Chains A and B, each alone.
Chain A
Amino acid sequence: MEQSVQANKKFIVPIGPQHPALKEPGHFEFTVDGEIVTGATVRLGYVHRGIEKGCEDRNYAQGMYLTERICGICSHVHATAFALAAEQLAHVNVPPRAQAIRVLVAELERIHSHMLWLGVQAHEGGFDTLFMYTWRDRETVMDLLETLTGNRVNYSANVLGGVKCDITDELASAIHKGVDFLEQRTHYYLNIVTNDETFLGRTRDVGTMTPEQAIRIGAIGPTARASGLQRDVRINAPYAGYVDFPVQIVTAQGGDLLSRTIVRVNELFESIRLIRLVLEKLPPGEIAARMPRRVPEGATVSRVEAPRGEVFYYMKSDGSDKPERVKVRTPSMCNWGTVMATAVGHKLADMPMLLAGIDPCFSCSDRSVVVVRNDEPQAMTWEALRQYGIGYYK
């Protein structure tokens, strides 16, 4: 390693696969000149689990539980995306009450995800007090999700054709109480992230991305909305219950880490508003429709807005009880480019916050592979990689 550093006259700081800043394995190489970053590369693929392939060997109900485990933070959106696609193929009409409950769980999940992110971001910036506070308050929403579905992490609120848990009056009042508390705390956090000088010093004008850049790189989710783009699947292509419960888009104009923080904190308010609206206008009726075991032949896509951005599912059915192909595209994958594009020119100290700024989910991203060979990163298409693999093992 030393020889290569001297040969290239580059000082490369490796972050990962094991590093205190990373909660999941990924590998980043930052070329630095003193403290200034002059180049950045990313290598993923440490947690490739073959979930897409696994779906092909399981029936639809099992597949939904499998995709729910793609991500521990946004498990509900993966299950929803899978269920929506399967229901569309099977021509099943999901009762409106179920669709509303899906929205409710999705928004509770968004609150939990954004609060978790705020804590992680504060920790990356060395602001451990905010980290501890946000995670303490996040327990409120975790408890709500547990009361509602029975689980803290992989809630399994969905079944194919509807949801498995109903909202009782008791539950509704518990949720009201919880979100009242969270709303009050969110005001407090908004005050901190917009007024604390040291936190502002670490987020303002760091990683600024113009709207043009965001469009070119293909940023999505809060990362894109922080650059002023109107990108939110809940609004652009409403799914599940979002047709009846419209979302108001939250954007900011700065494009820097501060804007990304503000967008996420403001989305907490929007989620709280939606939760109250859903509880108030919950349609009566069944919570699940019957889903056939075999799904008719066909192909479809479904798009769901995860806390990190758009989750995209492609599903193809051959008429049996197992999907022929499931393709998942997760939001973190789309946003990696923004980190690499904005890293150059910043300080090394900004890198952890910049990395965490897109709210990355490493396990989600592990779908394409970048192979580092001869110290020069080289991107390979899936087909090329397959051919390479066949040739390698011949």
Chain B
Amino acid sequence: MNAFTALLAMMIFPGGLFLLASGLAYEWADRKLVAQLQNRQGPRWFQPLADTFKLLAKEEVVPDGVHRGLFWGLPVAALAAALTAALYVPMAGLAPAASFPGDLIVAIYMLSLLTLCLGLAGANTYSRFAVIGATRTLTQLFSYEAPFMLSLLGPALMAGSWQISSVADYAAGHPWMLLTQPVGFVVALIGLMGKLELPPFDAPEAETEIVSGALTEYSGRGLALFRLGKNIELVIGLTLVSAFYLGGVANPLAFLLKTLALLFILAVLQSLFARLRIDQTVGLWWRVGALLALVQLLVVVVLKGMGVL
């Protein structure tokens, strides 16, 4: 890859502009769907973009007592991590910009880095809401991370590779793993909701308890960057799950249809439940989620060992 194509990949597609635009578009689709399900009107199509511009233009208030470097740097690191993760994922159904054996692990950890930045950003301030939000963010990280990872390893084991593109290729050539590994699919989907702190897993940013959680003290640019990072995480998460479980994303049309279908399921799940307390979230993941994912993984390993698959 020469310097020009590398720059193109990072700035325009699949990283950079394309990713930002699709992140905003998916955020809008998510908000609109949830609003419609809740019998509300929902935002206009350019609302996420308008929000972003508004936040970028606002003065950023740096509260007393924070580490200024961290306060400025964490949102940048979070967004950078999300953007980097996208390079290994078959965005829009096209081949990933960069690929090497084991990039699945890198991509997953890049996405966790974003959550870690969020937690640190909360712990960096003196605000009690932010500190509690940070504690909850990190607690939640430890609860969904392992099951989510295990649920993505199932398809990887089937494909015999830890390279995202080859798993996606394998998925495209075989029956949908949604059918062969339904448990893994459910765990992955709900893990994604936990990762994105969507309702009912929004205890880390429960507005009626702790205002805005870890991001309470962020107002301008930092908040905009964190929001963009989360939107990108949403797109990447949807892409990963549909590439692994919904028979790959072979072309842009399949990508669009499959991710939007997943988003619809996410929106329905978001509007169906009351918020879980953080202890309920942890209990759910470690008593049910992790166990189910492990059983699924075990079944795959055993069947593969017996040569059935």
A130 neighbours in B (Cβ, 8 Å): 274
Q: Is the CB of A35 within 8 A of B276?
A: no
Interface set of B (CB-CB < 8 Å, partner A): 37-40, 65, 126, 128-129, 132, 135, 199-200, 202-203, 206-211, 271-280
Secondary structure type dominating chain A contacts:
helix
B38 neighbours in A (Cβ, 8 Å): 128-129, 132-133
Q: How many residues of A contact B (CB 8 A)?
A: 34
The 5 closest A-B pairs by CB, nearest first: A126-B275, A127-B274, A21-B208, A198-B273, A198-B274
Q: A20-B207, A34-B135 are in contact. List 11 more A-B contacts (CB 8 A).
A: A11-B128, A21-B209, A122-B274, A124-B208, A126-B208, A198-B274, A199-B274, A201-B274, A347-B277, A347-B279, A349-B278
Q: Is the CB of A198 within 8 A of B276?
A: yes
- Known contacts A20-B208, A198-B200, A129 near B277 by CB under 8 Å: no
Nearest CB of chain A from residue B213's CB, rounded to whole Å: 11
> Is there a chain B Cβ closer than 8 Å to A196's Cβ?
yes
Q: Which residue of the partner chain B has the closest CB to A203?
A: B274
A347 neighbours in B (Cβ, 8 Å): 277-279
Nearest CB of chain A from residue B284's CB, rounded to whole Å: 10
> Is there a chain B Cβ closer than 8 Å to A63's Cβ?
no
Interface set of A (CB-CB < 8 Å, partner B): 2, 11-14, 19-21, 32, 34-35, 122-130, 132-133, 136, 196, 198-199, 201-202, 347-352
Q: Looking at A13, A14, A201, which has the most chain B CB atoms within 10 Å of its CB?
A: A201
Complex: A201 Cα to B273 Cα, angstroms? 11
Q: Is the CB of A196 within 8 A of B277?
A: no
Count A/B pairs, Cβ under 8 Å.
81
B199 neighbours in A (Cβ, 8 Å): 126, 128
Looking at the complex, which one of B40, B211, B273 makes contact with A127 (CB distance below 8 Å)?
B273
Q: Is the CB of B277 within 8 A of A202?
A: yes
Complex: A124 Cα to B128 Cα, angstroms? 19
Complex: A352 Cα to B275 Cα, angstroms? 12
A122 neighbours in B (Cβ, 8 Å): 274
Looking at the complex, which one of A34, A125, A196 makes contact with B275 (CB distance below 8 Å)?
A125
Nearest CB of chain B from residue A293's CB, rounded to whole Å: 49
B275 neighbours in A (Cβ, 8 Å): 125-127, 198, 202, 349
Complex: A187 Cα to B183 Cα, angstroms? 34
Looking at the complex, which one of A123, A133, A199 makes contact with B208 (CB distance below 8 Å)?
A123
Q: Is the CB of B40 within 8 A of A126?
A: no
Looking at the complex, which one of B39, B129, B206 makes contact with A133 (CB distance below 8 Å)?
B39
Complex: A348 Cα to B39 Cα, angstroms? 30
A127 neighbours in B (Cβ, 8 Å): 273-275
Complex: A32 Cα to B207 Cα, angstroms? 18
Q: Which residue of the partner chain B has the closest CB to A126?
A: B275
